Amino acid sequence: MPRPHGFTYEQHTGGTVRISHHGRPATTLNGPRAAQFLAEVETSDPQLVMARWTGNYKRGNERTARDHPRNRR
């Protein structure tokens, strides 16, 4: 599975964190969620963390799963 790339984050005043993917806003975190994200992004692979926090980590196997005989109706 290809590794996620193209994510960036900006920390704003008031504790807000904005995560972007290829220059487009993906999500905004506030308060305790922003603090938790910042702590996690410092200790792990930042691209993987940002992909998971934005929900953009499930890529590549959806079509395979959809076409599986068990999932057809």
Which tens digit of pLDDT belongs to each residue from 27-63?
A: 999 999 999 999 999 999 999 899 889 886 655 555 5
Of the CA atoms within 13 Å of residue 54, those in its CB half-sphere come to 27
Q: Which residue would you say has higher pLDDT here, 70 or 18?
A: 18
Kindly report the pTM of this predicted structure.
Answer: 0.72
Q: What is the pLDDT of residue 12?
A: 93
